[in-house]
A and B are shown apart, each in its own frame.
Chain A
Amino acid sequence: MIDNKFKSILLSVQKPARYTGGEPGCVYKDKDNVDVRFAFCFPDTYEIGMSHLGMKILYDELNKQDYIWCERCFAPWTDMMAKMKENNIPLYTLESKTPLKEMDIVGFTLMYELSYTNVLAMLDLAGIPFYAKDRDESYPLIIAGGPCTCNAEPVADFFDIMALGEGEFLDVEICRVYNECKKQGLSKLETLKALSKIQGVYVPSFYDIKYKENKTIESVTPLYDAPVIVNKNIVKDFANLPFPTDTVVPMAGAVHNRAMVEVLRGCIRGCRFCQAGFIYRPFRERDKDLLNSGARDLCKNTGYEEVSLTSLSTSDHSKLEDLLDDMLPWTQQEKVNIALPSLRVDNFSESLIEKTTKIRKSGLTLAPEAGTQRLRDIINKNVTEEEIEKTAKIAFEGGYTHIKLYFMMGLPGETMEDIKGIVDTAQKIIDIFWSMPNRPKGKPEVSISVATFIPKPFTPFQFFGQNDGQLIKEKQAYLLECAKTNKRIKVSYNNPEESLLEAVLARGDRKLAPAILQAYQSGAMFDSWYECFNFDAWMKAFADNGIVPEFYANRFRPYDEINPWDHINYGVTKKFLIEDYERSLKAITSKPCNKQCYSCGANKLLGRACFEYSKN
């Protein structure tokens, strides 16, 4: 499988184990005994891709089908990419080392916009034409999934289909229909028509988009009977949805190398800046006994020393404390840590912290997101100052000394007062530490990490124009100025250029495709990696293709403008988003879904109410 020449190449690049496969838990099948060969591509490094729960779930789900063989593929790091090009080695799957070109379906998971150029790099390395229209039946079907597909219009021309929403059953259904078409020898067009009938399948080429002179969208016209609005797919009975209890255990240090169990899907909080909170609606939680037994099996089968209870907001699981009580005996006996990565400030109880600190003590992260109550109300981050202080106190009492706070800047309605509020919040936490008679040994440290706010589709802030780079720089400078006085406060923030690019791609339309391609061809790749980010290549590509970034990023979008994603339905309606945006302008908060339903529309996907309100 690996000859001398290839071995020599592998030994000349960093971390060769990224490119060899062979980890415990890999699935091998006989290629002659399967009908559909699926390459699951993650357009980032092995370490990042292998930390991604979605990939593990779909790998498991697809390989459960006898007729499908799903294999993995990641973006080779730049050193390996150069070597592969130099030696004419086409991009291959890790399990069988088959060139991607020979697969039936090549699926990319789009987790973040800044991985789009990596998709192009991978197609390029595989010798597959970029544009869907340039690929005939002899090429694999190129499909996309993952959260970005809620508006992947900027890359829509590169994909044959997009799978919207939750992939568990959807991907298998796509393979099933594809297989039938293949057996009947149908053309690519006929196959796409058949696939477009599946709920959650979006065929970009079946939508004709017309633009106005002012560059906004005039109309979106479906062709070939394709649905006018494409609905995302969801798993209705998430409570009883089994999850993989044996997964590939990555070899070369994955970022999150631990067992991961998804305790709930969706989020009840409705933070207005958070795309995940809206596109994963409605809220559904997994049965606690299923979670407990599955987590135990997963740890047993993989040998992991840590199990992470993941979700957007784990402490919102109604039976979380019971679940922890069930898990504590076996995790302690088997020396497994429990990690709760997404605790919320407002229901962070003492007994909860006790349960997790019994096992492990490290830094604690909290996300107040904004520095003043007024701004937190605008963004609907329903966390009060008292709650932050109380949490800090509990954390210090629990022995933590390092607290990390996450904030955003450039939020709607933000003033310089709010920027100062970020530092004030950190300062207060430090003051609390010193005021405690029973404080832990040592000195407190508060790190504040401030991200530039990026308005995203399907959020109430989808209309809002992002702060321009100049304003963000001024705010960052002011933040540093405020924080100068206290050495125990560490400040970090991200690059405004990167945020601008992300904002353009997030709410972009199909006119961006040639610019993205040009950016890639002139060297943009691994854009989310600081050391690779090439802003100049992007700006030149935009300019050469008549793209004005500000049009996409910084402009307020009137409610009646047709957005590039308006023909896609992720559950929440535009009507609801407008109402919620209006509420935010008046600093009126929205209650969590389990307290009050605002009829966002997501329950229609479920076919019933999200919660039984009589019980509350």
Chain B
Amino acid sequence: MNTVRIKFQKTGLSIFFSHLDLQKVMQRALKISGLPVWYSKGFNPHIYMTFTLPLSLGHESLCESFDFRLEEEMTEQQILKAMEGTLPDGIILTAAGAPDYDASQIKYALYRIKMYGEKDRLMQCVSHFEESDEIIVTKQSKKKTTDINIKSEIKDLKVTEESDDSLTFTALFPAGTTYNLNPALLLEYFGEKFGVDTNGCDVLRVNLMDENLEILQ
């Protein structure tokens, strides 16, 4: 039995599936693929499957992955071939092989975010972010809501592209199994303060990094 990590992109229409939907999609895809997937024993056998880092509904990603187990050794090509045609539009598999890093190594995620609207307003968002000492947002967890200052948590915010009706920036957000900052919180803040259409933004998770800002691939 060996653990396999499948890497995939979640783009296009597939961004509207929740994490729960995605789990079911992958489970079914593995079943259709006919791969010798390992099932847990017991009365209700199921496929053992873990996702590296859940992605929010509505966000695209180039660096998603999940692990499962195979009962036999198989090559990357064999796995990808078997999975062909089993997935909904927008989910693209990019690699399959032994897991190369542990989820606990993840400390940051690089996001590329495109906001739409009047140029001045979008610029204001960025300059406000740069000039403020504090950006206070309300974070909701299962039980309580807490106010946090995200200014110090977000690193390397850089504008990469501007046009008359859009602005694109990249930034590093804390991510990982112990602490996560959803970029939507920043966009909601921009929404409240400057009227940016939060839901209309394109949010793309580009890659994951460890504490030394080395890209985890």
Q: Do A and B come from one complex?
A: yes
- Which residues of A come within 8 Å of B, CB atoms? 1-2, 4-5, 7-12, 15-17, 19-24, 26, 249, 251-253, 300-305, 335
Known: A10-B16, A11-B16. 14 other contacts (CB 8 A): A1-B13, A4-B200, A7-B199, A8-B197, A8-B199, A11-B57, A15-B18, A17-B21, A19-B16, A22-B90, A24-B29, A252-B21, A305-B31, A335-B39
- Which residues of B come within 8 Å of A, CB atoms? 12-14, 16-18, 21, 24-25, 27-32, 34, 39, 45, 57-58, 85-90, 116, 197, 199-200, 202
Q: Give chain B nearest CB distance to A334 CB in angstroms.
A: 8
Closest to A15 in B: B18
Q: Give chain B nearest CB distance to A92 CB in angstroms.
A: 14
Closest to B197 in A: A8
- A interface majority secondary structure: loop
Q: When the two chains form their complex, are residues A20 and B28 in contact, meaning their CB atoms are under 8 A apart? A: no
With A4-B116, A22-B14, A300-B32 in contact, do A251 and B25 touch (Cβ < 8 Å)? yes
Q: When the two chains form their complex, are residues B13 and A2 in contact, meaning their CB atoms are under 8 A apart? A: yes
List the B side residues contacting A2 at CB < 8 Å. Answer: 13
Q: When the two chains form their complex, are residues B16 and A302 in contact, meaning their CB atoms are under 8 A apart? A: no
- Indicate the member of A1, A301, A302, A305 with the most B CB atoms within 10 Å: A305
With A22-B88, A303-B86 in contact, do A5 and B200 touch (Cβ < 8 Å)? yes
Q: Can you list 26 A-B pairs with a CB-CB distance of less than 8 A?
A: A4-B116, A4-B202, A7-B58, A8-B199, A11-B199, A11-B200, A16-B16, A16-B58, A20-B16, A22-B88, A22-B89, A23-B88, A24-B25, A24-B87, A26-B89, A249-B28, A251-B21, A251-B24, A251-B25, A252-B17, A253-B21, A302-B32, A303-B27, A303-B28, A303-B31, A303-B32
Q: When the two chains form their complex, are residues A17 and B17 in contact, meaning their CB atoms are under 8 A apart? A: yes
- Indicate the member of B18, B86, B199 with the most A CB atoms within 10 Å: B199
Q: When the two chains form their complex, are residues B28 and A17 in contact, meaning their CB atoms are under 8 A apart? A: no
Q: When the two chains form their complex, are residues B13 and A22 in contact, meaning their CB atoms are under 8 A apart? A: yes
List the B side residues contacting A21 at CB < 8 Å. Answer: 13, 89
List the A side residues contacting B29 at CB < 8 Å. Answer: 24, 303
Q: What is the CA–CA distance of A5 and B87 in the complex, to the nearest angstrom?
A: 26
Q: What is the CA–CA distance of A305 and B45 in the complex, to the nearest angstrom?
A: 11
Closest to B22 in A: A251
List the B side residues contacting A24 at CB < 8 Å. Answer: 25, 28-29, 85-88
Q: What is the CA–CA distance of A5 and B116 in the complex, to the nearest angstrom?
A: 10
List the A side residues contacting B27 at CB < 8 Å. Answer: 303
Q: What is the CA–CA distance of A2 and B90 in the complex, to the nearest angstrom?
A: 13
List the B side residues contacting A23 at CB < 8 Å. Answer: 88
Q: When the two chains form their complex, are residues B86 and A11 in contact, meaning their CB atoms are under 8 A apart? A: no
- Indicate the member of A21, A22, A335 with the most B CB atoms within 10 Å: A22
Q: What is the CA–CA distance of A2 and B16 in the complex, to the nearest angstrom?
A: 11
List the B side residues contacting A10 at CB < 8 Å. Answer: 16, 199
List the B side residues contacting A9 at CB < 8 Å. Answer: 199
- Indicate the member of B14, B31, B45, B116 with the most A CB atoms within 10 Å: B31
Closest to B20 in A: A253
- Indicate the member of A11, A23, A253 with the most B CB atoms within 10 Å: A11
- Indicate the member of A5, A301, A303 with the most B CB atoms within 10 Å: A303
Q: What is the CA–CA distance of A125 and B31 in the complex, to the nearest angstrom?
A: 39
Q: When the two chains form their complex, are residues B21 and A12 in contact, meaning their CB atoms are under 8 A apart? A: no
Option from A15, A20, A22, A335 in Cβ contact (under 8 Å) with B45: A335
Closest to A360 in B: B44
Q: What is the CA–CA distance of A8 and B201 in the complex, to the nearest angstrom?
A: 8
Option from A5, A17, A19, A302 in Cβ contact (under 8 Å) with B18: A17
Q: Give chain A nearest CB distance to B203 CB in angstroms.
A: 10
Q: Give chain A nearest CB distance to B116 CB in angstroms.
A: 5
List the A side residues contacting B31 at CB < 8 Å. Answer: 303-305
Q: What is the CA–CA distance of A263 and B119 in the complex, to the nearest angstrom?
A: 62
Q: Give chain B nearest CB distance to A82 CB in angstroms.
A: 15
Closest to A257 in B: B24
Closest to B34 in A: A300
List the A side residues contacting B116 at CB < 8 Å. Answer: 4
List the A side residues contacting B32 at CB < 8 Å. Answer: 300-303
Q: When the two chains form their complex, are residues B90 and A304 in contact, meaning their CB atoms are under 8 A apart? A: no
With A12-B199, A305-B31 in contact, do A20 and B57 touch (Cβ < 8 Å)? no
Closest to B165 in A: A4
Shortest 3 CB-CB distances between A and B: which pairs? A303-B28, A8-B200, A22-B89
Q: Give chain A nearest CB distance to B32 CB in angstroms.
A: 4
Option from B30, B88, B197, B199 in Cβ contact (under 8 Å) with A251: B88
Q: What is the CA–CA distance of A2 and B14 in the complex, to the nearest angstrom?
A: 12
Q: When the two chains form their complex, are residues A17 and B16 in contact, meaning their CB atoms are under 8 A apart? A: yes
Q: When the two chains form their complex, are residues A11 and B21 in contact, meaning their CB atoms are under 8 A apart? A: no
Q: What is the CA–CA distance of A9 and B85 in the complex, to the nearest angstrom?
A: 29
Q: What is the CA–CA distance of A303 and B82 in the complex, to the nearest angstrom?
A: 13
Q: Give chain A nearest CB distance to B167 CB in angstroms.
A: 13
Q: What is the CA–CA distance of A7 and B39 in the complex, to the nearest angstrom?
A: 37
List the B side residues contacting A251 at CB < 8 Å. Answer: 17, 21, 24-25, 88
Q: Give chain A nearest CB distance to B7 CB in angstroms.
A: 20
Q: When the two chains form their complex, are residues A16 and B57 in contact, meaning their CB atoms are under 8 A apart? A: yes
List the A side residues contacting B30 at CB < 8 Å. Answer: 303
Closest to B14 in A: A22
List the A side residues contacting B85 at CB < 8 Å. Answer: 24
